[in-house]
Amino acid sequence: MKVFNTYSRQVEDFQPIEAGQVRMYTCGPTVYNYAHIGNFRAYMFEDILRRQLRAEGYAVKQVMNLTDVDDKTIRGSRAAGVSLQAFTARFKQAFFEDLKRLNIEPAELYPAATDHIPEMIVLIEKLLAAGHAYRSEDGSIYYRVKTFEGYGRLAHLDMGGLKAEARVSQDEYDKENVGDFALWKAWDDADGEVVWDSPWGRGRPGWHIECSAMSIKHLGESFDIHTGGIDNIFPHHENEIAQSEGATGCHPFVRYWMHCGYLVVDGSKMSKSLGNFHTLRDLFERGYTGRDVRYVLLSAHYRQALNFTFAALDGARSALARVDEFRGRLAETAGAAPVTGAGAAPAWVRAPLAAFRAAMNEDLNTPEALAALFALVADGNRALSQGGVSAGEAAAALQALRDMDRVLGVLEAPEPVPDAEALRLLDARTQARAARNWAEADRIRNALAASGWDVRDGPEGAKLKPRRA
């Protein structure tokens, strides 16, 4: 399997530290609001990555952090007049609900920042002892960036050329250098009751330190993959490297850094003022499903900017309906036929499956993988129409779809079964048609449509299909 490593800016062969076992850390949500679809692009990318790794036979241990203490969560909880914990609990729950609706596999572990304050303090003490950090007058602790050789390497930034401009906020006036970043923030009024004791006085952790502390604790001082959106490259991931390697002396902290591109909406960055800001919940209210959204997120390569539009969402729905239709045809042909060995699969099943796997192993090329899926659909439909498909072959094709869906997670969908009343009406219509009573037949067809069923007349009689929006 090949993956693009941000650190080297190259596609590399993936080799885990421990054979057969992948340890990966994925930067999770800051739980101060409902996540938007741009956020979910990252979680989707990570889901596809872990699914493909598993499909290739690796055991995966994925750790995704929950940032439940930072400026935004503190501000939000104070505005809402509730405790930080109560405030973030609500959005943690919403986050997991959303993941489920997108059919994103759960990570093995979801550590929360507030549960790892002692580990962060230990890490900061190590950095202080190593001379990588210093205490400022107000009791905050900063990372002394110039002591870490190679700082800026991940982001390809030359820190020497950094302009000392006015982006330094006022509460950071006592840093030695503008590039230095906070490991520990001394308490101030805005923090309210959000405070922990530390060897340097009361305060709270900086943002970056949590990921170093939690990844080291749960994955070790050196692990395989670390992911996030490209906006995390700098400063967050750059700082993580400096903190982790600075504290442990272990290099490399991470072997493969992987980042997904932005999601834009109608060609523009998502923003509330443009009215193109969408949470997952907004889309559900408009009648779209997690499956529709998931398909759209799969339709572009993860490193490319993805243009999210409602036209794409509608297109996703149509495309998935075609796959559903195909699976239905296969199931009828397969009947109860057993899935035999791979050798029994016809070429029109084997070739797309091989192409699918090759595409996914080439740095998760999901658009090409979807093309392989549709090659299977088209070739299979053609074969079915020509009547030359055996039950065993159809079963093999169904198995191929399941194999693909192990990675895509978007194909299988429960189909509602017609109720007794609908079946009775269908039967009545069949009799009306036999009597050439077209008016009555059409009346029943309309009645069925009103109750959510489409009637499909075919060579083998009429069938009911759930009506699509």
Partner RNA sequence: GGCGCGAUGGCCGAGUGGUUAGGCAGGGGACUGCAAAUCCUCUCACUCCGGUUCAAUUCCGGAUCGCGCCUCCA
| Concatenated DSSP letters of 373-391 | HHHHHHHHHHHHHTT---H
In a 3-state reduction of DSSP, which class is residue 67? strand
Give the total of residues touching RNA (CB under 7 A). Answer: 91
Question: Which has the closest alpha carbon to 45: 263, 266, 359?
Answer: 263
Tell me the per-residue interface mask from 447 to 466 with RNA, x by CB under 7 A, - otherwise.
-------xxxxxx-----x-
Does 251 participate in binding RNA (rule CB under 7 A)?
A: no
- Please, which residues bridge with residue 203 across strands? 186, 196
The nearest distance, CB 91 to RNA, in angstroms, is: 11
Q: Which helix or strand (DSSP H or E) is residue 438 part of?
A: helix 438-450
Cβ distance to RNA smaller for residue 41 or 291: 41
Does 153 participate in binding RNA (rule CB under 7 A)?
A: no
Token readout for 432 is 């009306």
Which residue in 57, 161, 335, 387 binds RNA (CB under 7 A)? 161
Cβ distance to RNA smaller for residue 185 or 291: 185
The nearest distance, CB 341 to RNA, in angstroms, is: 26
Tell me the per-residue interface mask from 375 to 414 with RNA, x by CB under 7 A, - otherwise.
x-xx--xx--x-----------------------------
Question: Which has the closest alpha carbon to 258: 295, 301, 312?
Answer: 301
Q: Are 17 and 269 in contact (CB under 8 A)?
A: no
Token readout for 74 is 């503190």
The nearest distance, CB 338 to RNA, in angstroms, is: 25
Cβ distance to RNA smaller for residue 92 or 445: 445
User: In the range 83-142, which residues lie near RNA by CB under 7 A?
Assistant: none
Does 179 participate in binding RNA (rule CB under 7 A)?
A: yes
Binding segment toward RNA, per CB under 7 A, in 110-118, 152-160, 190-198, 211-219: 152-160
Binding segment toward RNA, per CB under 7 A, in 112-120, 155-163, 339-347, 400-408: 155-163
Tally Cβ neighbours within 10 Å of residue 269.
12
User: In the range 293-312, which residues lie near RNA by CB under 7 A?
Assistant: 299-301, 304-307, 309, 311-312
The nearest distance, CB 46 to RNA, in angstroms, is: 9
Token readout for 273 is 């003022």
Non-local CB neighbours of 38 within 8 Å, separated by 6+ positions: 229, 262, 263, 270
The nearest distance, CB 107 to RNA, in angstroms, is: 14
Cβ distance to RNA smaller for residue 115 or 454: 454
Q: Are 93 and 47 in contact (CB under 8 A)?
A: no
User: In the range 189-248, which residues lie near RNA by CB under 7 A?
Assistant: 206-208, 228-236
Which residue in 100, 202, 251, 269 binds RNA (CB under 7 A)? 269
Does 186 participate in binding RNA (rule CB under 7 A)?
A: no
The span from the CA of 93 to the CA of 75, in Å, is 19
Total residues found in the chain within this entry:
469
Cβ distance to RNA smaller for residue 244 or 365: 365
In a 3-state reduction of DSSP, which class is residue 34? coil
The span from the CA of 226 to the CA of 26, in Å, is 6
The span from the CA of 136 to the CA of 183, in Å, is 11
Q: Are 28 and 175 in contact (CB under 8 A)?
A: no
Cβ distance to RNA smaller for residue 19 or 149: 149
Q: Are 28 and 215 in contact (CB under 8 A)?
A: no
Q: Which helix or strand (DSSP H or E) is residue 5 part of?
A: strand 2-5
The span from the CA of 119 to the CA of 183, in Å, is 12
The nearest distance, CB 455 to RNA, in angstroms, is: 6
Q: What are phi and psi of 72, to 5 degrees?
A: -70, -40
Cβ distance to RNA smaller for residue 59 or 305: 305
User: In the range 321-350, which residues lie near RNA by CB under 7 A?
Assistant: 321-322, 325-326, 329
The nearest distance, CB 160 to RNA, in angstroms, is: 10
Cβ distance to RNA smaller for residue 59 or 307: 307
Q: Are 333 and 383 in contact (CB under 8 A)?
A: no
Tell me the per-residue interface mask from 32 to 61 with RNA, x by CB under 7 A, - otherwise.
------xx-xx-------------------
Which residue in 56, 314, 403, 412 binds RNA (CB under 7 A)? 314
Does 441 participate in binding RNA (rule CB under 7 A)?
A: yes
